[in-house]
Homo-oligomer: A and B are copies of this chain.
């Protein structure tokens, strides 16, 4: 029994005037309208949110979602949290609810309102997604954790400083440039890797060696939503549909010290399981939206997804394979780097963008002849890993 995405909603990402509450309502209503079903048909609502407590003093956020429509009163609303993968976690919970027979239709909303805090505050709240006693409490930030990946990878594969710096800049340049075409992106501008490499230090300071400002994703507000449907009902509603062919979740140790810092070990496992479940190989993948919270993460995602062998992910940028006209376009939306990264929204945003891409209604760059899209969403320093395979079906 399959589950389909029959509706999508997506607010602008950025420093927004809308409150956490407004964002939920906006994305939820848009997805419901797009699904063309009545609110009362929704069996339950799943809210992906990382830290309403930390950013907005609002835990217990899920019940707010019934404000989307009076017909939703009494429907079960549940918050799911797995750091920056909370959005994918919410989709997973909704899919399970449908497959368990609890409901026929589910509304999933991913949301975060981060700009309520200053940079110091945001850094602290995000650090709570690390293993606090060993990492956050000792001053380790997320740029610091991903710098560990960057250093680990560079060392493991003996990449020169210059080449490595260039590769990271290429990821950043690609995603900034792609983001220019995404009307909902927080920022986007035509940039080459040379533009970035030539920025003076004060414009592109080191955040955590070797990661610089242009290697880091953004602090954002925003929400995204999808309506999921049991396959049999979806087919009556729409001619063109997007099926969830697989949604796999794997977990690795919370402390980075217990894992390799040169690969997404559990992410790789999730990808293998997802391809198997969806009965595809990497050759069938038409594009991917991946978790470039830092530029190094996108390179590790290439390897996890099988686009490159271990230690060769960075070469895809030289070969052009991950650009919009390449074999595996990655983050044509602009990615977390340019689209923005309201952390609880990100997994749902990826699903919305991939769905719209598959339906030929891309938000931003439209690729040609896409049938299968993959999203790769991680939480914390890749302790939580989600791989979603979406397929267009007629």
Residues of A that sit less than 8 Å from B by CB: 19, 21, 44-45, 50-54, 56-60, 62-67, 73-83, 89, 92-93, 95-102, 125, 127-133, 136-137, 249-254, 266, 269, 379-380, 383-384
* Contact yes or no, B128 A254, CB < 8 A: no
Give the docked Cα–Cα distance between A380 and B66 (Å).
Answer: 15
Give the contacting residue for A100; candidates B50, B66, B96; CB below 8 A: B96
Give the contacting residue for A251; candidates B56, B58, B77, B96; CB below 8 A: B77
Q: Please name 16 pairs of A and B residues whose Cβ atoms are closer than 8 Å in the assembled complex, sorted by A.
A: A21-B133, A57-B132, A59-B129, A60-B83, A60-B128, A60-B130, A60-B384, A63-B380, A64-B254, A73-B252, A73-B253, A74-B266, A80-B81, A96-B96, A96-B99, A96-B102
Smallest distance from the beta carbon of A17 to chain B beta carbons, Å? 15
Known contacts A96-B97, A253-B66: A53-B54 contact under CB 8 Å:
yes
* Contact yes or no, A132 B58, CB < 8 A: yes
Q: Which residue of B lies closest to A99 (CB)?
A: B100
* Contact yes or no, A250 B379, CB < 8 A: no
Give the contacting residue for A269; candidates B66, B74, B100; CB below 8 A: B74
Give the contacting residue for A78; candidates B73, B80, B98; CB below 8 A: B80
* Contact yes or no, A128 B53, CB < 8 A: yes
- Using A74-B252, A78-B80 as known contacts, list a sample of 19 further A-B pairs with CB atoms less than 8 Å apart, ordered by residue number in A: A44-B249, A51-B53, A53-B128, A54-B54, A57-B136, A59-B125, A63-B252, A63-B379, A63-B380, A66-B251, A73-B252, A73-B253, A77-B251, A77-B384, A80-B80, A80-B81, A95-B100, A96-B99, A96-B100
Q: Which residue of B lies closest to A98 (CB)?
A: B100
Q: Which residue of B lies closest to A66 (CB)?
A: B251
The 8 closest A-B pairs by CB, nearest first: A99-B100, A76-B249, A60-B83, A63-B383, A60-B129, A96-B100, A59-B128, A96-B96
* Contact yes or no, B75 A60, CB < 8 A: no
Give the docked Cα–Cα distance between A93 and B50 (Å).
Answer: 18
Copies of this protein in the assembly total 2
Give the docked Cα–Cα distance between A52 and B54 (Å).
Answer: 10
Which B residues are CB-close (under 8 A) to A129? 59-60
Give the docked Cα–Cα distance between A58 and B101 (Å).
Answer: 33
Which B residues are CB-close (under 8 A) to A132? 56-58
Smallest distance from the beta carbon of A20 to chain B beta carbons, Å? 9
Known contacts A78-B80, A251-B66: A57-B128 contact under CB 8 Å:
yes
Which B residues are CB-close (under 8 A) to A380? 60, 63
Which B residues are CB-close (under 8 A) to A254? 60, 63-64, 67
Q: Which residue of B lies closest to A95 (CB)?
A: B100
* Contact yes or no, A81 B82, CB < 8 A: no
Question: Which interface residue of A45, A52, A63, A380 has the most chain B CB atoms within 10 A?
Answer: A63
* Contact yes or no, A57 B137, CB < 8 A: yes
Give the contacting residue for A250; candidates B51, B54, B76, B96; CB below 8 A: B76
Give the docked Cα–Cα distance between A360 and B19 (Å).
Answer: 51
Known contacts A74-B250, A99-B100: A59-B79 contact under CB 8 Å:
no
Which B residues are CB-close (under 8 A) to A76? 92, 249-251
Smallest distance from the beta carbon of A229 to chain B beta carbons, Å? 15
Give the docked Cα–Cα distance between A81 and B82 (Å).
Answer: 11
Give the contacting residue for A64; candidates B56, B59, B62, B131; CB below 8 A: B131
Give the docked Cα–Cα distance between A268 and B79 (Å).
Answer: 22
Smallest distance from the beta carbon of A45 to chain B beta carbons, Å? 8
Smallest distance from the beta carbon of A90 to chain B beta carbons, Å? 10
Smallest distance from the beta carbon of A269 to chain B beta carbons, Å? 6
* Contact yes or no, A78 B92, CB < 8 A: yes
* Contact yes or no, A89 B78, CB < 8 A: yes
